[in-house]
Amino acid sequence: MSKGTVVLAYSGGLDTSCILVWLKEQGYNVIAYLANIGQDEDFEAARKKAESLGAKKVFIEDLRSQFVEDFIWPAVQANAVYEDRYPLGTAVARPCIAHRQVEIARREGAQFVSHGATGKGNDQIRFELTCYALYPEVKIIAPWRIPEFYNRFRGRTDLMEYAQKHGIPVPVTPRAPWSMDANLMHISYESGILENPKSHAPADLYLMTKNPEDSPNEPDVLEIEFKNGVPVRVTNVKESTSKDTPLDIFSYLNEIGGKHGVGRIDIVENRFIGMKSRGIYETPGGTVLLKAHLDIETFTMDKEVRRIKQGLGIRFSELVYNGFWDSPECDFVRHCIAKSQENVEGKVQLSVFKGQVYILGRESSKSLYNEELVSMDVQGDYDPCDASGFIRINAVRLREHHRLQGFSGTKK
C-alpha cells in the first residue's frame, strides 16, 4: 500500500536518482520535478531517466525568465551581497525552485516533498522554509537527515553500488574532486579538495569565466539602461547591438562578463547552520550589474534615503542567505527597497576588461547631480561663507567630547 505521493526536486544526477529509487522502496509514489534555471543540462535525457527509474510523473519546468524577473532583479535593486562578498547566486535560486515544487505538490495532491540537500548546508533550510511558508501542512522527506539513509550511503561508493544494483545509470566520466551547483546567475564550487581553505583552486575548475590572463586584449564597452532600479536594455557600444528582455539582458551580461573573466571570488563564509565553509563562485553578469546599479543609484537617490536603503540591502542579503525569502520581514524589506528604486533610472556606460568592470560615465533625467552647484569654477546658488557655520556647529560635539575627556590641549 502506498504511503502517499512525494514531489522530489530532481536533478538527474546520481544522488537524486538514488533518492528517487529509495523513496519508491519506502512505498511512496514519486513525482520527479526538474527546474530549468539556466544550468547546462540535457533535460529530455533527465526526463527519460526519471521515467525509467519509476517516477509516476515528471515535470520539467522552464523557470529562467521567472528566475531573472522575480528573484535576480530584486537582488539587483538591493545590491544584495552577503558578508560583503557573496552575490547570493545559490540563495536566490532556491526559493524560485521551491515555489514551483509547492505548486506542483498542491496541484497533484501530494502530501510530501523531498530534496537531496545535505544535512550540513544552507539549502535544506532554504528549501524547507519556503515549502512550509507556502504549504503549511506539507511533510518533508530529507533523506540526508534520516539515519536509515545516511548510514546506508556513507559516500559516493555506496551510491554507485546501489545504482548498479537497481539499474540506475551511473556517470561514465570521472567526477571532479569537488561539488558544483550551476544556474543562470552563477556557478558555485565547494567540498572535496576545496575543503582545505589554503589549497588553490585548480585552473580547470572555472566553467563560466575565462582566466582574466587569457581574456581578450580589447574591452567591451556596454551601456546599461535602468528603470525602477532594474536593467531594461543593454547595448554593446562598439557593435551597436542591444538586448531588451530580462532573460536576454542577463544572459548577454553573463556572456560578456565571462568572456573577460569577471566575477570570480574565493571566500570563506558563515553558514546559517553555524559553521564556516569555503566556496568559490563565478557570477559574471551579476557582478557587472552590481557595479552599474551602484553607480546609477548613487547618481539618482537622495543621500539619507540611500543610507537607510543600504541597511535594508544588508538585511535583505542576510534574510535571503538564511532562507527567509517568504517571511513577512523579507516581503516588507523587498517592498521598501522597491519603493526606493522609483527614481533609479538612466544609463551607465562601462568597460569590461581583464576581470574588471570600469565605470566610464552616466546620465539620467532623474539625476540629483547639479553640475553648476558642485563646480569649482562657478559659485552658483551656494554661499561658501555658510560652510563656516556648518563646520562650527559640527565641531561643538567634538570639542565637548575632547574637553570632557581631558584631551583638550594636553598630551598623554
* Annotation says 377 is catalytic: no
Q: Are 112 and 305 in contact (CB under 8 A)?
A: no
324 CB-near residues (< 8 Å, 6+ apart) = 129, 330
- Cα distance between residue 73 and residue 92, in whole Å: 10
- Cα distance between residue 290 and residue 304, in whole Å: 20
Q: Which three-class secondary structure state does DSSP give residue 356?
A: strand
* Catalytic residue from among 11, 64, 123, 340: 123
* Annotation says 362 is catalytic: no
- Cα distance between residue 40 and residue 171, in whole Å: 16
* Catalytic residue from among 65, 179, 191, 327: 179
- Cα distance between residue 125 and residue 121, in whole Å: 8
Q: Are 225 and 253 in contact (CB under 8 A)?
A: no
* Annotation says 278 is catalytic: no
- Cα distance between residue 58 and residue 36, in whole Å: 13
What burial class does residue 239 get, using C-beta atoms within 10 Å of its C-beta: 0-12 exposed, 13-18 middle, 19+ buried?
exposed
Sequence-ordered alpha helix ranges (H) in 245-322 = 246-259, 284-300, 303-322
* Catalytic residue from among 64, 94, 126, 278: 94
DSSP string, 104-157: HHHHHT-SEEE----SSSSHHHHHHHHHHHH-TT-EEE-GGG-HHHHTT--SHH
Q: Are 221 and 360 in contact (CB under 8 A)?
A: yes
Beta strands at 139-141 and 112-114: parallel, antiparallel or unpaired: parallel
Using alpha carbons, select from 69, 17, 11 the residue that is nearest to residue 43. 11
* Side-chain half-sphere exposure of 39, counting CA atoms within 13 A: 23
Dihedral sign for Cα 9, 14, 19, 22, please: positive
* Annotation says 397 is catalytic: no
Residues with a known catalytic role: 15, 94, 123, 179
